[in-house]
Structure formats: C-alpha cells, structure tokens
Amino acid sequence: MIKPMIVLLTSAAILLSPFNQASAYKGTEINYESREEIPSRFKWKLHEIYPTKSAWAADVKKAEALAVQFKETYQGSLGQSASQIKKAMDAYTKLLRIEEKAYVYINLELSTNESNHDLQALSNRADTMAAAIAEKTAWFSPELGKIPGSQMEKYLNEPDLQLYKNFLADIIRTKPHTLSKEQEELLAKISPLSGTAANVYTMLSKDVRFPKIKDEKGKEVQLTRVNYSTYMESKNRKVRKAAYEAYYRTLTKFQDSFAAVMSAQVKSHNISADVRKYKSSVEAALTPNEIPAAVYDQLISSVHKGLPQMHRYMELKKKMLRVNDLHMYDMYTPIVDSNNKYIPFEEAKKMVIEGLKPLGKEYETLLNKSFSHNWVDVYSTEDKRTGAFQWGAYDTHPYVLLNYQGTKNDVSTLAHELGHAMHSYYSKKAQPYINSGNATFTAEVASTLNENLLWESEYKKAKTKKEKVFLLNQRLEDFRTTLFRQAQFAEFERSIHELEAKGGSLNAESLKKIYGDINKKYYGSLVAADNEIPMEWARIPHLYDYNFYVYQYATSFAASSALAKQVLDEGQPAVKRLKEKFLMAGGSSDPISILKDAGVDMSTSKPIEQSLQVFSETLDELEKLLNE
C-alpha cells in the first residue's frame, strides 16, 4: 500500500551509523559558518519544486480538499464495479502525489536549517495535512477488504485494474490485519503521535551539550555530535579515549530521558502489532513489505556463526595497534597510517564516477547529471541535519543531503547516497506512481552495491603494500560496521521489543544491561567491557526514527556483495539484469522476488554465509600481507 511519507523515507540513510557518519579531518580546507556562504553549485535548488511558499501552501490546501472530495465521492461505492474502483484509485493516487510533493519539499527545506522556527511551523503544517488525509482515506482499505474474495479476484483480471493489481493484491494479503473503518479512522487521527518519540529524540539530542576535550596538539576543542567521529579515528589514543568517555558520560546524564523516549517508541510498536493481530512487532514491521519475519531471525543466527571470525579480527586489530588492552574507542582508528589529506569534493566526484564505471555509460551520465543539476547538497553548517540521506517525490528528481568533510568515509557516503538516488530515478522512470516506491529491504542494496564497487576500484588501483593493507582493513571495517554491527543493533531492537511485550520495564539500567551483553557477545572477551559502551543505544537515531529498519543494512550488504561480484565477473549481462530486474523494478513485485530475479535469493541464509566467507577471506589476505 502506498504511504508516501513512509515509503519515501525508505531510501533515506539518515544515520549511516558511526561507520559512515559525517566527520572532519583536522585542517579541513572548507568550513562554512552559514548556509549563505556556500556557493550555489553545492546547494539544492528547492525552488524548482515550489517557486514560493504560497505555491506550496496552495498544494497543501488542495491535497486536503481532494481528500475530503475523495471520501464524499467514493466511500460506500467500491463494490459496484471494477471501473468504480479504478476511478477511486485514480483519484487516490492523484491526491497522494500532491501530498507527497508538498511533504517532501518542506522537510527538505527544514533539513538544511533545522533551527528555523518558520520552517518548523511549516513542517508541522505538513504533518497536520498528512494526518488529515490519513483520516479522510482511512476507510479506503477496509472497504476494499470487505469486497468478497471471489469478486475481488474477478476484478483483478479486469483490464481497467491492471495498473493497480499489486496494490489491490496487497489489500487482500493484509486483510487479516486491517481493522474496521471506524478503528482505522481512529488510528489515523492519532497517527501524528507515532512520530513523537523521533521528534523528542531529535530535540533532546540537539539540546545535549558535550564538554571540551584536548586534541592532538593539546588544544582545547569543543566536542560535538558531528566531530565525535573524527576524534574516534585519531591516531592519538588519549584523544579518542577522551572523546569517547566525554561523549558517553554526557549521554549518561540524560539516560533516563533517552530511556523514556525509547520505551515510548517500543510501546507504540508493540501496541500497533497487537491491535493489528500480528504475532510480534517484528512481524508487524516486516509483513507490509512482504518480508517473512524468519529473514530477520535468520540474519541474526547466521551472523552469530560468523562471530569467531569477528573475534579473530579483533585479535589482529589489537596486534596491529600494539595495545595491551583493546577498547571500543580503538575500533575506528586505522591499523595502518593512511594518507588522510583533505579530499576536495571535485576529486570525490571523480573517484565515485571512476569507481562506478562497471555499471555502464548510462549510469555514468546520470551521475554527472546529479552533480551538474544540484541533486546534492554538499557542505555542513550548524543548523543542517547531521548524517546523510536521499529523498524525493515522484514528481521531483532525487535529492541527496551530505555533510561533506573531505574524508575517505565521505567519499563512500557520496557513492552510497547516489546509489539510492539512481535507484529512485530508475524506479520512477520505469514505474507508474502506484508501483514506484522502493521497499526498504531493496533500497539499501543499491547504495551498498555502489560502496562495494568503489572499494573494488580503489583496491585494483592500489600499488603499494601500505595502500593494500589500508584498503583491506577498510573492507573489514565495512563488514564490521555493516554486517556485524547492524545485526547487533537488530538483535538489540528485537530484544527490547520482546522484553516490553512480556511486561518488562525499559528503563536506563535494563537497556544498558541488554546492550552491554549483546556488545560483549559480538566483540568477544578480547575487547574491554568499557563502562561507557552500554549507553550506545542512546546514540542510534534509527532506533527512534524507524521501526525495525537497521537489519536491512546487513541484509542489503550481503545482497549487494553478491550483485557486485556478478557485475564484475559477468559485465554487461549482469548490468542489464541489474538495471531491468532491480533498479527499474520499484514496487512492482515483492522485495524477495525482485532480488531473486536480479540474482540473489534472500529467502535463504546463503547470501549472509557467502558474505561471512568473504570477510574471512579478506582477513586471510590481510594477515598474509602483514606477514610478508
């Protein structure tokens, strides 16, 4: 079913976790104090969506009026004929396209200036619009669901409804979890409350102020959410330890507030699952996207089998860092010296375009267009949303938000988000609106595929042992922070939902205990159990913003690894298959089938097991190089 405000966000990567979060090298060459200082070529041109706020407000009112008209015209008439359903579907999609465009526009505006009170008010107005439309259309699915199965099956074979066949089949599939018209309308009325936890978390995070620490030169510097990742990569162990302890000890002062927000989010998920008669909140989150809940459990159990290799990597990391005790604040510092000079954005563009050449000339042309037509908002300012994401409406081109600081990670982030953008572009070009949304399960495949190809390109060009060791370590870190770490987050998310569902209390102490135990399982006894790490759950926005999202980073990483290998091994046939069966597929089928057609069967544990094998082989290769 189309739910624009959710579907659009599925291709966002607002938190790339600490493994890809925007960070800055010391001596960054470009640093803008305000948005006005940034040259226009590095900023979105959102006036291309709406030339004025008045034009935007007119569409908001139009969408609300169409919702009222939709209810008055079609409620109670859907069982009459296939042609009547088609008219209703046409009106419904027209309404949603306008709503989507308006909602996306104002939130893109806000993301680059989050402290602007006028934009905050307009974003709230968009939320009000969305809630009103949800209320006015809440009757739609229940009424379609009341049409007898035999009659609906007949309708689905009518030529008039072929465009909407998937949508209507979805109604039949989720019918056991669809409530009465009155119940759906009530849930729609209170739907704005579902975003409360995420909003409170965002504001709470912005209100947290971290202390100053001393950098590598002994200079006192302000620790922030953005530069924290930089100091965690520092070669100076005292600096990264100071940043780590200052960050988490500060979060601990707010632990009860973060726990209350987390508890509220989990309760809302469990209540929704219960009301809609799902067996669990995991099933409730995955079923709408046609992902079997077993896929979630299968990921975690498969990764558990690979933990001995992870512990082996920790042993190597400890040896390479030459430390007596390995701590969590040692995780992000490179095990070998690297050329950490600032990478200008123009150079980053060239690196990404070169790395993605295996995807063909057309893909390369689109990449160049994304740069020349202001699809990418590049540099960070104080009021800009942290991290990176891609978003857009059906009637706009994709928009990519970065907080570019000139690091190697930032280059990978650029490739990642452009993967989302190209996926969105191809899907919208090939599919009608109703089938254009990419499910979250497939969305992260396109992005991590690009990261895979970029790495392969860089490794192929590496000439020295030092370069190769650095890149192999980077590759191992990709596995650690994507496959292992996101599975770890997923296990934590499942555990806290299960605890709450059983009547357990999600307070700060219980959350820390669960997170600390899981972290120890993943990193092993070789890594010190620092007192600070159990608070890391307070730093993961996706646990507050979304509902069982993070597991898809891990599954997507496995799928994209397999697809990248096919592209590099087979060449044009694999590229053609990737484009036609995956990038252009949108929501024309269920995610498992789409990936299977593209060449990866995620209904089995095989892709996860193959990824773990690649991890082990990469570790072998690194050890071999180090012993030469």
Residue 608: CB atoms within 10 A of its CB come to: 27
- Cα pseudo-dihedral 451, 454, 455, 461, rounded to 10: 180
Contacts of 622 (CB under 8 A, 6+ apart): 316, 469, 472, 473, 476
Give, for 400, the enclosing helix (H) or strand (E): strand 399-401
- For 416, 451, 541, 559, the CA distances from 390, given in Å and listed in that order, are 9, 15, 16, 20
What is the rounded CA–CA span in Å between residue 143 and residue 176? 13
Say if CB 110 and CB 119 are below 8 A apart. Answer: yes
What is the rounded CA–CA span in Å between residue 515 and residue 494? 11
By 3-state DSSP, what share of the chain in percent is helix, strand and coil, each rounded to 5? Answer: 70, 5, 30
| β-strand pairing of 399-401 with 376-377 | parallel
Which amino acid is present at 601?
A: D
Which SS3 state, helix, strand or coil, does residue 401 take? Answer: strand
Find, among 524, 606, 561, the residue nearest to 307 by Cα.
524
What is the rounded CA–CA span in Å between residue 552 and residue 482? 10
What is the rounded CA–CA span in Å between residue 553 and residue 16? 9
Q: Which of 417, 444, 477, 493 is catalytic?
A: 417
Find, among 367, 370, 420, 428, the residue nearest to 394 by Cα.
428
Contacts of 179 (CB under 8 A, 6+ apart): 142, 187, 275, 276
Burial category of 601 from C-beta neighbours within 10 Å (exposed 0-12, middle 13-18, buried 19 and up): middle
Whether 417 is catalytic: yes
Structure tokens at 95: 């309404």
Which SS3 state, helix, strand or coil, does residue 215 take? Answer: coil
Say if CB 333 and CB 235 are below 8 A apart. Answer: yes
Give the CA diameter of the chain: 77
- DSSP, res 578: I
Q: What is the strand order of the sheet 376-377 is part of? A: 376-377, 399-401, 389-391
- For 65, 87, 99, the CA distances from 74, given in Å and listed in that order, are 14, 9, 19
Q: Nearest 5 degrees, angle CA 239-CA 240-CA 241?
A: 90
Burial category of 567 from C-beta neighbours within 10 Å (exposed 0-12, middle 13-18, buried 19 and up): buried
- Cα pseudo-dihedral 203, 208, 213, 215, rounded to 10: -10
Angle formed by the axes of helices 440-461 and 345-355, nearest 10° = 100
Question: Which own/partner contact pairs does 254-260 have at CB distance under 8 Å and 24+ positions apart?
Answer: 254/204, 254/208, 254/538, 255/508, 255/512, 255/535, 255/538, 256/507, 256/508, 257/204, 258/201, 258/204, 258/508, 258/537, 258/538, 259/506, 259/507, 259/508, 259/511
Say if CB 613 and CB 305 are below 8 A apart. Answer: no
Give catalytic residues, as residue numbers. Answer: 417
